[in-house]
Structure formats: structure tokens, C-alpha cells
């Protein structure tokens, strides 16, 4: 029962993150949304991996690794956004003309 | 065994070492280390050639607890190709990215990022564990994004962020598939997944992972990040982004569809993948025709050339894997991956030479440059021969194998796309070649060191040589191939 709650919470976080990615142009918010989706997936992972009576250690190890990867990616993304905001004064992607 | 450890660890160790070195020692150390890795890659190819796939269980732990690394013929071939491209890029970058030419940040930042990218590539080629592949592809994406942003201009930063959004979305889709696969089977090892008891979530897991990897491979319609990323990046970084980075995610797709879950390869799914590839061939070719800058022509050409790779799915996947033409189709796609890597890297390096010589890559400014830079013009023409698929190049071998397989399988539409793509490639590459070999130079060229000019020439010659000596790579690629290899064609 409690595992289902964890899994559903994870799924809800992923949904929130995907909505934000599609709806919010501000780049910092987008980075937050990526982190939301990642956290939701990790939560779901923990719940999905806890099968049977014994605690499975592998999902925990993988989640920790995943958090490190997500943190590194977020750090780089924030650095890029700050640099872009300094150059252009906007923290959103310029809607460039797509016609070649 | 030791060669496998060297190609994995030496790039990462050198990347960290470079951060601590004084500026003078940086380039010699990177070049020495690159030479060592190229030698190790050659040793690995020889080991696979003589003794079959090389396997290493990290730390002595066997799967499912541990992580397995395995170099089959395909991995060895890709490691060798990447090592040659990386070595060439390092040689060109020591001339092109000097601090007084491009500023201190790019002159310093390129080297550790290049080596990180190299380590990540080799990790992806060798990993047999879905989560390990996730870490590898993420490291690869982060290094690639940083390379795009290296110049620090607003345009480059925006392109890097756009790329990063695609790459992160792709990573998360892939990760979601990994989570589902683990939840269903309790293992992430490719060999163990192959003998799993099928679960009803498998199709969704494979679909999520595939969608994520397509975004990273820049397959149509996920290609929109690729050309702007090339426009702002320095030429050596462009060479890596086009020649190598998409190959890593493509290899994971191959591992998934041919090794981990071949039972899920339904005809419809394979058809969708190949149809996207076919659209990419045409669309990329048409867009390459209308570009005015050499780098953008080459970038859109990448979109087109990557499309050919996906013909492997209907011709060698699913029910077709046991057919006599499967070996030809499978090897043809891999030949395309290898020869495109060599030729595309050569092309971007020639673009870098032209930018260094005249300060521009607009087609109009390139007029007559073949006269003042003959070696570079020759290198560009050789690389173009491979990309058009003309004999005797590696690109010709690739397209010939794919085309004969398509006819043997009765799937002639792919053969039509192959022919049409070749015509388009000839058309969009004719424009820069015509400009280069035209009479009367418009812009005087600065002198370029001969060694720098020789680098893309050697790479382009290798892509031709791949076609001349096609029997050896053909046999190497069969070693450890998942389906029963048949010499049907």
C-alpha cells in the first residue's frame, strides 16, 4: 500500500515537471522542472525496486548516482543560464527565426 | 584486457591532469596521451580480432551485482574510429585553438572537455549495463554542451542551452525506461535482459528509452538543436559533435533493439524508425542545399547522413535478423557509422582551416581557395566522395551493402531513398567544391602550417581506405554480433 503511495507521488512529480517544461519559457524554471521529473523518477524507482520482503540495495545505489548526475547537469545548466542572462538580459531562449 | 582499461581510464585521468598543468605543458601532454590511447585502441582491435570479444567484470563482481564491460567487434571498431578522429582533432586544435588566436578560455577549456568526451564515448561503447550507459551518455552530453558554449557568445550560449534541453529531456526519457525495466526484471545487464521473462511494461520501457536516444542522435524531428550548435562552436568541437557524439546514442539503440529486447522488434516499430531515417535523409539534404555557410552545409549533411543508419532496423532487425541479407544490412549501417565519422570530422577540420585562413566560411568568400590551400581542397573533395557514396570509399561500401540488402529483402523504397540521398549529397557538396575550385581567389589566404593541412587529408584518406580494405572491417564487425552471422550476400 505505502509503496503505491510513493510510486503515485513519483508519477505526480513527473507530471508536474512535464507540464512546467511545456508551459514555462523561463530557463531557471525549466531547470527546476527537469529536477522535478528526475526526482519523481527516482521516487518511482525506489518504490518499483522494493519488491518482495528483502530491501533491494541496487535501486538505492543507482538513485544516489542519478542524483549526482542530475546535480552536475543542473549546475552546468544554471551556469549557462547566468552567462546567457548577462549577455542578453533575458533568461529565456530567443525565439530565433526557424526559416533557413 | 589492459588495453580496454586504458581506453576507459586514460582519457579521464588526462582530463583531470590537464587542469593542473601550466599552459606550456598542456598540449604536449594531451598529444602524448592521445597517442597512447590510439595505440591502446589498436591493441584492443587486435585482441578482439584474434581472440573474440574481450570481457571485464569491474571489480571482479559478475552481473547482476556488478557491471560488465565488453568489447565486441562493433565496439572495437567504434573505439578505433573515435580514437583516430580524436587524435586528428587534437593535432588540428593545437594550431587552431591557441590562446592568442581564440582567447584564454577556449584555448584552455577545449582540452579537458575533449578528453572527458573521449572517456564518455569509450564508456558507452563498452558498457553492458543500462544504468552505466545512462551515466556514460549523460557525461557525454554535458561535455558536448560545454563544448558548444565554449566561445561564450550569446548565440553559442543559446545554442548550448537549446541542445541541453533536448539532451536532458532525452536523458530523462531514457532513465524512465531504465526504471521501468528494472521494476519489471530486477536487472539492468543487457545479457540478463536478453533472457528475461517478458513483462507487459517492456514495450513502454523500450519506447521511452528509444525516444530519449533519438533526441540525442539528432534524428528527424529531434534534429533542430544540431545545426545551431555547430554554427557557434569552434571547428574541432564541431567535428566531435557531428562525427562521434550521435554514434554513441545510436550504439545504445543497437544494443537495445538487437541484444537486450530483440523479441519486441515488431515490424511496425522498425518501420517507424526507418521512415524517420528516410525523412531525415531527404530533409537534411534539402536544407543543406540552401545554406550559405560551409559549416551549416556540413551540419545539415550530418542530419541526412545519420538517417541512413536507421535503415538497419527493418533490414536486419526483428524477423529479418535470421535472413541471409541481415549480415549485409547490419554491416552496411556500421560502415556508414565508421566512414561518416572519419569523413565528417575531416570536413569540419577543413572548414576550420578555411575560417583560420580567411576569417569566414561563407561560400562566396571561399572562391578559388583550392589554389592557395591545395591539400585542404583535396581533403574536402575526398571526404565528399565518401559522403556521396561514390566508389571506392567506405561510404560506397555502406550504401552498396544497404542497397543490396534492401533489394534482397524486397524493401525497395529504402533503396530509392539511398539513391536519392546520394544525389542530394552530390548536389549540396557540389556548391562548396565548385566555389573552392573556381578561378580567381576573392580573399587572400593567411599561410596555414602544412601539418595542420595534412590532418584532415589523412582522415579523409582513411575514409576512402575503409572502402578499399572493406573485407577486414567487415569481418571485425561480425565478431560478437548478436544474431547468427551469415555470409548470404
User: Which residues on chain A are in Cβ contact (under 8 Å) with B137?
Assistant: none
Q: Please answer yes or no on whether B152 and A83 come within 8 Å at the CB atom.
A: yes
Q: Touching check for B146 and chain A: CB below 8 Å?
A: yes
Q: Which residue of B has its CA nearest to A58?
A: B65
Nearest Cα to B196, choosing from B130, B261, B128, B264? B261
pLDDT digits (tens), chain B, 489 positions: 689 999 999 999 999 999 999 988 999 999 999 999 999 999 999 999 999 999 998 878 887 777 889 999 999 999 999 999 999 999 999 999 988 888 888 889 999 999 999 999 999 999 999 999 999 999 999 999 999 999 889 999 999 999 999 999 999 999 999 999 998 898 899 989 988 888 899 999 999 999 999 999 999 999 999 999 998 899 999 999 999 999 999 999 999 999 999 888 888 999 999 999 999 999 999 999 999 999 999 999 999 999 999 999 999 877 777 777 888 899 999 999 999 999 999 999 999 999 999 988 999 899 989 989 999 999 999 999 999 999 999 999 999 999 999 999 889 999 999 999 999 999 999 999 999 999 877 778 889 999 999 999 999 999 999 999 988 998 999 888 875 433 333
Long-range own/partner contacts, residues B443-448 (CB < 8 A, 24 or more apart)? B443/B358, B443/B360, B443/B365, B443/B367, B443/B369, B444/B358, B444/B372, B445/B357, B445/B358, B445/B369, B445/B372, B445/B373, B446/B356, B446/B357, B446/B358, B448/B95, B448/B353, B448/B356, B448/B357, B448/B373, B448/B376
DSSP B108-143: HHHHHHHHHHHHHHHHHHHB-BHHHHHHHHHHHHHH
Distance CA B331, CA B318 (A): 16
Nearest Cα to B419, choosing from B223, B243, B286, B281? B281
User: Which residues on chain B are in Cβ contact (under 8 Å) with A66?
Assistant: 134, 175
**Contact residues for B22 (Cβ-Cβ < 8 A; gap 6+):** none
Exposed / middle / buried, residue B45 (Cβ in 10 Å: 0-12, 13-18, 19+): buried
Q: Which of residues 22-41 of A touch B (CB under 8 A)?
A: 27, 30, 34, 37-38, 41
| B69 sits in which H/E element | strand B68-71
Count Cβ–Cβ pairs < 8 Å, chain A vs chain B: 86
Nearest Cα to B51, choosing from B338, B470, B476, B469? B476
User: Which residues on chain A are in Cβ contact (under 8 Å) with B172?
Assistant: 34, 37-38, 41
In a mutagenesis test of the B interface, which of A80, A85, A97 is the best target, namely the one with the most B β-carbons within 10 Å?
Answer: A80
Give the gap in angstroms from C-alpha A2 to the nearest C-alpha of chain B. Answer: 16
Distance CA B201, CA B178 (A): 11
Global confidence as pTM: 0.94
Strand partners, B56: B69
Amino acid at each position: 500500500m505505502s509503496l503505491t503511495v510513493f510510486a503515485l507521488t513519483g508519477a505526480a512529480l513527473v507530471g508536474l515537471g512535464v507540464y512546467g517544461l511545456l508551459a514555462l519559457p523561463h530557463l531557471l524554471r525549466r531547470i527546476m522542472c527537469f529536477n522535478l521529473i528526475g526526482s519523481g523518477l527516482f521516487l518511482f524507482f525506489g518504490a518499483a525496486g522494493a519488491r518482495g520482503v528483502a530491501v533491494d540495495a541496487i535501486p538505492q545505489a543507482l538513485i544516489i548516482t542519478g542524483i549526482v548526475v542530475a546535480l552536475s547537469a543542473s549546475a552546468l545548466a544554471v551556469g549557462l543560464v547566468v552567462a546567457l542572462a548577462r549577455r542578453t538580459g533575458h533568461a529565456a531562449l530567443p525565439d530565433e527565426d526557424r526559416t533557413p | 584486457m589492459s588495453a580496454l582499461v586504458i581506453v576507459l581510464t586514460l582519457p579521464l585521468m588526462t582530463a583531470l591532469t590537464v587542469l593542473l598543468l601550466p599552459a606550456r605543458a598542456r598540449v604536449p601532454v594531451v598529444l602524448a596521451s592521445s597517442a597512447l590511447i590510439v595505440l591502446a585502441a589498436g591493441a584492443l582491435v587486435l585482441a578482439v580480432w584474434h581472440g573474440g570479444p574481450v570481457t571485464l567484470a569491474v571489480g571482479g563482481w559478475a552481473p547482476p551485482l556488478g557491471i560488465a564491460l565488453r568489447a565486441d567487434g562493433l565496439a572495437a571498431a567504434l573505439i578505433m574510429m573515435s580514437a583516430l578522429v580524436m587524435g586528428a582533432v587534437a593535432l588540428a586544435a593545437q594550431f587552431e585553438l591557441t590562446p592568442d588566436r581564440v582567447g584564454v578560455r577556449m584555448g584552455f577549456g577545449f582540452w579537458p572537455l575533449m578528453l572527458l568526451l573521449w572517456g564518455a564515448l569509450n564508456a558507452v561503447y563498452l558498457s553492458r549495463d543500462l544504468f552505466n550507459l545512462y551515466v556514460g551518455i549523460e557525461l557525454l552530453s554535458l561535455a558536448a554542451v560545454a563544448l558548444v558554449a565554449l566561445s561564450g557568445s550569446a548565440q553559442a550560449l543559446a545554442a548550448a542551452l537549446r541542445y541541453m534541453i533536448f539532451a536532458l529531456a532525452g536523458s530523462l526519457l531514457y532513465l524512465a525506461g531504465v526504471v521501468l525495466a528494472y521494476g519489471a526484471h530486477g536487472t539492468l545487464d543487457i545479457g540478463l535482459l536478453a533472457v528475461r521473462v517478458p513483462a507487459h511494461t517492456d514495450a513502454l520501457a523500450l519506447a521511452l528509452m528509444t525516444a530519449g536516444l533519438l533526441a540525442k542522435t539528432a534524428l528527424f524531428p529531434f534534429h533542430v538543436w544540431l545545426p545551431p550548435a555547430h554554427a557557434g562552436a569552434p571547428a574541432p568541437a564541431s567535428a566531435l559533435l557531428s562525427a562521434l557524439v550521435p554514434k554513441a546514442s545510436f550504439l545504445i539503440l543497437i544494443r537495445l533493439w538487437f541484444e537486450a529486447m530483440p523479441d519486441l522488434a515488431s515490424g511496425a516499430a522498425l518501420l517507424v524508425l526507418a521512415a524517420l531515417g528516410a525523412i531525415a535523409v531527404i530533409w537534411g539534404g534539402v536544407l543543406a542545399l540552401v545554406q550559405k555557410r560551409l559549416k551549416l552545409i556540413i551540419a545539415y549533411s550530418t542530419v541526412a547522413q545519420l538517417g541512413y543508419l536507421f535503415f538497419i532496423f527493418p533490414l536486419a532487425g526483428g524477423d529479418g535478423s535470421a535472413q541471409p541479407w541481415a549480415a549485409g544490412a547490419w554491416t552496411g549501417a556500421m560502415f556508414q557509422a565508421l566512414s561518416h565519422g572519419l569523413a565528417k570530422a575531416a570536413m569540419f577540420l577543413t572548414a576550420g582551416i578555411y575560417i583560420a585562413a580567411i576569417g569566414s566560411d561563407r561560400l562566396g568568400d571561399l572562391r578559388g581557395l583550392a589554389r592557395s590551400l591545395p591539400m585542404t581542397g583535396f581533403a574536402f573533395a575526398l571526404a565528399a566522395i565518401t559522403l556521396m557514396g561514390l566508389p571506392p570509399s567506405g561510404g560506397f561500401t555502406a550504401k552498396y551493402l544497404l542497397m543490396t540488402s534492401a533489394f534482397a529483402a524486397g524493401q525497395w523504397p529504402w533503396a530509392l531513398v539511398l539513391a536519392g540521398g546520394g544525389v542530394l549529397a552530390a548536389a549540396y557538396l557540389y556548391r562548396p567544391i565548385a566555389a573552392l575550385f573556381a578561378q580567381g581567389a576573392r580573399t587572400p589566404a593567411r599561410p596555414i602550417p602544412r601539418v595542420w593541412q595534412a590532418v584532415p587529408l589523412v582522415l579523409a584518406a582513411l575514409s576512402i581506405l575503409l572502402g578499399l580494405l572493406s573485407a577486414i572491417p567487415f569481418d571485425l564487425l561480425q565478431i560478437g554480433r548478436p544474431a547468427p552471422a551469415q555470409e548470404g550476400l
